[in-house]
Copies of this chain bind each other. A is one copy, B any other.
Amino acid sequence: MLIPIILSGGAGTRLWPVSREGHPKPFIELADGETLLHKTYRRAASILDAVEEAPREILTVTNRDHYFLSKDEFARAGLEGRYRGTYLLEPVGRNTAAAVALAAHAVAERYGPEALLLILPADHLIQDEAAFRRAVAHAAELARQRRLVTFGIVPDRPETGYGYIEASEALGPGRTVVRFVEKPSLERAEAYLAAGNFYWNAGMFCFQAGFLLEQMARHAPEVAEAAALCWENTRGRMTPQTSMIELDAERFAGIPEISIDYALMERSDAVAVVPAEFGWSDIGSWCALSALVPADAAGNRAKGQAIFLDSRDTYVHSEDRLVAALGVEGLVIVDTPDALLVTHRDKAQDVKKVVAQLKERDHETYKLHRTVVRPWGSYTVLEEGPGFKIKRIEVKPGASLSLQMHHHRSEHWIVVRGMAKIVNGERTCYVRPNESTYIPAGCKHRLENPGVLDLVMIEVQCGEYLGEDDIVRFDDVYGRG
């Protein structure tokens, strides 16, 4: 019995401006059109296919703001109906110890203390899936023997950006662990590489739910107790049918914010490591992401429209604009509709400094994109001017926005694709492409896509105040107030 636990937290600030607080790293699209979360879900599913007795459930621990986004990726990866997707929703981020502890409680509750958890970060890339499955089988074997199993990536370079695991003698298909080491200096990293018994700590683990909770109670009692209290207030929300469980907000906020490595792995003597070589990358910077795009003869790479002249080793990521790079070398140029990053490859790790500065200035580009994803679809602000705002609104088949009203703005809606069912005051009508309707300020209205194709609509708002907070919701199928 093995349940993949997908940990989908963190903002991935090193991949700004594509990754943002409201649309973080697991959800960014790679050159092949898939997201990292999409790939992680498929990888988890392939593990379940290999483990016959599995309940075929995948548990995602993520922020509640990312519930619908995560569910969409689960569906896009083709898992819906074939695997059971369960979501444990965090009201705030509390690092990995809290997430893992609550996942262990949930799994123990549903499948008993001996069920195995396979902890997988949502935003890593693994190239060799067969090798990954073999490593998981080895980890599961050790985990059943009451071990906290980590995956140790065999290093191929003296990387200073990762923590290392020092291994000792053989232990079944793995090795015992001497200690965890923090990100080392280059000199030390070179020594580790030469020594041969050091591995990168990839943040992937396998253990029994009950054993994890026991170990946590011994080595990190504060975390264990706070997590148990939180679970106490949450467990009632889980029935055999539930697929979405909101963690108790007050109690969850009381759990110490600490990583599972610090809280437990570095302290326990029951840790084992499974050495692994499966083409792992944490896609920790634009350099790692750009490496996924093929280079031309001069080392230039592009996702989107680019022209390179007298330029070398330069990466262009552009969503819809033409980018011309002239006489430059070793640059990373990342263009989005509202923010542009130009950095040198060697500084790509410092992108988080830019985000910190944006956050300090409260510039909304650290958080939101111009396209905002909602449970029912998305909207994109095309332009704002004095007294007006223009949005493109896309509604998924069968989806519907809340019944709502605005005090200060009227809305002109023009359907350009699909079919809209519109409640406009007392009237309900169907609006087809090239047809329009008008929603006066103060009028209750609802937009719905009754069809099987995406609905695309242009909205022109007019009014003295056009903030998103001028909305009164009367009834929302997604439970928003």
Contact = CB atoms under 8 A, between A and B. Distances in A.
Contact of A410 (B327, B333, B434): B434
A356 to B, nearest CB: 10
A61 interface: no
A333 B332 CA distance: 13
Nearest to A345: B327
Contacts of A344: 326-328
Given A385-B416, A414-B412, A324 B339 contact: yes
A120 to B, nearest CB: 31
A309 B350 contact: yes
Interface in A370-426: 382-383, 385-388, 390, 392, 410, 412, 414, 416-417
A310 B462 contact: no
A414 B413 CA distance: 10
A197 interface: no
A354 interface: yes
A436 B436 contact: yes
A460 B462 contact: no
Interface stretch (A153-161, A164-172, A174-182, A357-365): A357-365
Question: How many copies of this chain does one complex carry?
Answer: 2
Given A309-B350, A326-B350, A335-B340, A462 B434 contact: yes
Contact of A436 (B335, B383, B412): B412
Contacts of A84: none
A99 interface: no
Interface string A319-345: 001111111100101010111111110
Chain A interface residue count: which class?
Answer: 35 or more
A308 to B, nearest CB: 10
Given A350-B309, A382-B383, A390-B382, A338 B326 contact: no
A387 B410 contact: no
A416 to B, nearest CB: 4
Q: Which of A307, A318, A358, A438 has the most CB of B within 10 A?
A: A307
A134 interface: no
Nearest to A337: B321
A347 interface: yes
A318 B337 CA distance: 13
B417 A386 contact: yes
A458 interface: yes
A460 B383 CA distance: 13
A52 interface: no
A48 interface: no
Majority SS of interface residues in chain A?
strand
A372 to B, nearest CB: 16
A341 B342 CA distance: 11
A387 B324 contact: no
A405 B166 CA distance: 76
A436 B289 CA distance: 46
A456 interface: yes
A368 to B, nearest CB: 12
Contact of A326 (B335, B351, B365, B414): B351
B321 A350 contact: no
B416 A322 contact: no
A353 interface: yes
Contacts of A365: 322
A342 B358 contact: no
Contacts of A358: 307, 322, 324
Given A307-B357, A343-B327, A436 B433 contact: no
14 contacts: A17-B324, A307-B357, A322-B358, A325-B343, A326-B342, A326-B343, A326-B351, A328-B331, A342-B342, A386-B417, A387-B433, A388-B417, A458-B460, A460-B460
Interface of A: 17, 307, 309-310, 318, 321-328, 331, 333, 335, 337-344, 346-347, 350-351, 353-354, 357-358, 363, 365, 382-383, 385-388, 390, 392, 410, 412, 414, 416-417, 433-434, 436, 438, 456, 458, 460, 462-463
Which 5 A-B residue pairings sit nearest by Cβ, starting from the closest?
A327-B347, A388-B416, A326-B343, A434-B462, A327-B344
